[in-house]
Chain A
Amino acid sequence: MKPISAALCLVVAGAVAALGGPARAQQTVKIGSVLSVSGPASFLGDPEDKTLRMYVDKINAAGGVAGNKIELVIYDDGGDANKARTFATRLIEDDKVVAMIGGSTTGTTMAMLPVFEGAEVPFISLGGAIEIIDPVSKYVFKTPHTDKMACEKIFEDLKQRALTKIALIAGTDGFGSSMRVQCTLAAPKYGIQIVTEETYGPRDSDMTAQLTKIKNTAGVQAVVNTGFGQGPAIVTRNYAQLGMGAVPLYQSHGVASKSFIELAGPAADGVRLPAAALLVADKLPDNDPQKKIVVDYKATYEATAKQPVSTFGGHAYDGLYILVDAIKRANSTDPKKIRDEIEKTKGFVGTGGIVNMSPTDHLGLDLSAFRMLEIKGGDWILMAPKS
């Protein structure tokens, strides 16, 4: 054999040897997770990762689930769908997990979906878009609210204020464009007319041009901005600079975090947005069914992770407990039985809302899961729910 070939054999043999995993432990139920802990979507993956580790430790300290300790396997896809797909195969083929929580983004979730559907292992996604569960895939569930619900919540509020003519300004990232489509589809149902539409790139630093165009469009009664990240904060600032404050501005649940208020500054005053109860945990009335759970989660997360709570970690919390409850009810670690029980989840109170799943609804949240908030003086004000 030529020397060069011998070197090659060594390299490959080494790689193969190192790929071999450690021996498996007994009496455990293995739950897998692929999250975007690093990379551009780390603001989603990081709190999800922390939440899962934190609560799995808690559950194990209390004796585990149905007599089994949970073994959590988390892989970081760095936001890369192709990598996520490989890790999904690894969870199924190599780690032999009984269920999976994760997929921080819609992109990674959609890439992994065929793997779990093919292997018939339940998959609770933490991705936002409605495509994940519509059409329903037998083994795929999700916990975060959909963009469609956010649109409907906003339109409900508009209707209450008797505003029917709106302008839509959307980010061209995955979140913004997906929600733009959902809002366009949902508008006629609420008698809302979209008078004009504008878009901006996710990294644009000035949206004055688009907003000026909206300002000069006759008959705009409100502006709805779909997008997340820094874009909406810039829209909000430009909005105030252009003196458009008289026209109500709505943001999406994608910016439901304190950092948005900090970025947008005083310009954020009067902005309304739909958000999960978790964001206003301490402001909820005591008789709110979600009050206890969100206050507990917020306190636990902030004490252990030493950083402010986010709704994204809450989605992981909901996913974990929906799964754990299903394993308990199934009293089995058979993925098919667990799937059947997840689908039967009824009246589960989570951080995202009250979950009632069915064979045609693998999300199980209704509009009451969203609270309408208004920003005032750098803080959230909980709007009274519609009577």
Chain B
Amino acid sequence: MAWLSDRRAATLLVFAVIIAALPLVFPSGYYYRVAALVFVSGFAAIGLNVLMGQAGQVSLGHAGFFGIGGYAVAIGPAHLGIAPWAATPIGAVLSAALAYVVGRPILRLKGHYLAIATLGFGMLVALVITTESRWTGGPDGMPVAKLVLFGWRATGASTWYWISGAVLLIGAWIALNLAETPTGRAFRALHDSEVAARVAGIDVARVKLQAFVVAAVYASLAGSLLAMMNGFINPDQAGFLHSVELVTMVVLGGLGSVAGAIVGAAVLVTLPQLLTVFQEYENVMLGLIIIVSMIFMRDGVVPTAARLLARRGQP
């Protein structure tokens, strides 16, 4: 059982067990829905974490790719006669291509400038989706065709729970492995010091672009999944607030930690559901919890918890 001592395998195993066991305690379909939302958001957050946590580059326009993936599965079947399962990879390829083209110039920027450039990119995507109403249904959004695989229709919250759960595990597995490849190590070198990375022979521009494209593909796939799960999409999915939400998930959960991205998504998706008991103070409580956790857990939930537990383990 040597593979169990590997942290990657252990993390994956824990999530697989959680995903398999959760339905045992679910009293109704609503819980499947919330959990599936956590998985989809978690998937997008894992991707963004590759860019932000591993490679240390910020993106405030990531929902743009999320929206492209979502609208790919909406527009493909509705206007172009492409099956939803085929539209999903098309959306991902489109996002990757766009990330490549856009990323080349804007990833030369650093810090605030990069943040503003990605922000502008995200807004542009949302703007195009909102105005091209002939294709996208405009600001009120459009319906999305059901996913049909070999004559089997994917409907119902529990079906999507299993689909998104499986996709999340695959996404986590890839991201965990990526961190241990030469590319992943190059990401981390870049994160620590761009100059040192360049001195060590890393093609900084290329590596940044790789991280950006990977993150874009993750977001695009998550967008496609959510759109098919909801059977509906509107431009909010590509909007600035959604970008900020994704960034918050990554930062709250813990930069650089795959488990952190999933936990961050879990917190941000379930909290509004739990806080409904506070009625009109809901948003105040949500803000308060996020502020307090960022003050006391500056590295994010998962890294802080891991450190605390490790410290307690020592004599």
Q: Which residues of A contact B (CB under 8 A)?
A: 1-9, 11-12, 15-16, 18-20, 37-38, 75-76, 78, 80-83, 85-86, 89-90, 92-94, 106-107, 110-111, 113-114, 118, 129, 131, 172-174, 177-178
- Given known contacts A15-B266, A82-B226, A111-B234, is B140 in contact with A129 (CB within 8 Å)? yes
Tell me, in angstroms, the Cα distance from A243 to B67 when the chains sit together.
43
For A82, list chain B residues within 8 Å (CB). 37, 226, 230, 236-237
Interface string of B135-161 (1 = CB under 8 A from A): 000111101000000000001010000
Tell me, in angstroms, the Cα distance from A16 to B18 when the chains sit together.
11
Q: Is B313 an interface residue (CB 8 A)?
A: yes
Q: Which of B33, B140, B226 is close to A178, meaning CB atoms less than 8 Å apart? A: B140
Tell me, in angstroms, the Cα distance from A18 to B278 when the chains sit together.
14
**Min CB–CB distance B129 → chain A (angstroms):** 12
Q: Is B27 an interface residue (CB 8 A)?
A: yes
Q: List 8 A-B contacts (CB under 8 A).
A: A4-B7, A4-B11, A19-B270, A89-B29, A106-B140, A111-B234, A174-B140, A178-B138
Tell me, in angstroms, the Cα distance from A15 to B263 when the chains sit together.
11
For A173, list chain B residues within 8 Å (CB). 139
Given contacts A19-B34, A90-B30, A172-B139, 7 further A-B contacts (CB under 8 A): A4-B302, A4-B306, A81-B236, A89-B30, A93-B33, A107-B140, A111-B230
Q: Which of B133, B138, B309 is close to A6, meaning CB atoms less than 8 Å apart? A: B309
- Given known contacts A131-B140, A177-B139, is B232 in contact with A4 (CB within 8 Å)? no
CB-nearest residue of chain A to B232: A111
Chain A at the B interface: mostly helix, strand, loop or mixed? helix
Q: Is B173 an interface residue (CB 8 A)?
A: no
Q: Is B20 an interface residue (CB 8 A)?
A: no
Q: Is B272 an interface residue (CB 8 A)?
A: yes
Interface string of B251-277 (1 = CB under 8 A from A): 000000001000100100010111010
Interchain CB contact under 8 A, A177 and B231: no
For B11, list chain A residues within 8 Å (CB). 4-5
Q: Which of A2, A93, A174 is close to B138, meaning CB atoms less than 8 Å apart? A: A174
Tell me, in angstroms, the Cα distance from A76 to B313 when the chains sit together.
43
Interface string of B282-301 (1 = CB under 8 A from A): 11000000000000000001
Q: Which of A38, A94, A118, A172 is close to B283, meaning CB atoms less than 8 Å apart? A: A38
Interchain CB contact under 8 A, A2 and B10: yes
For B305, list chain A residues within 8 Å (CB). 4, 7
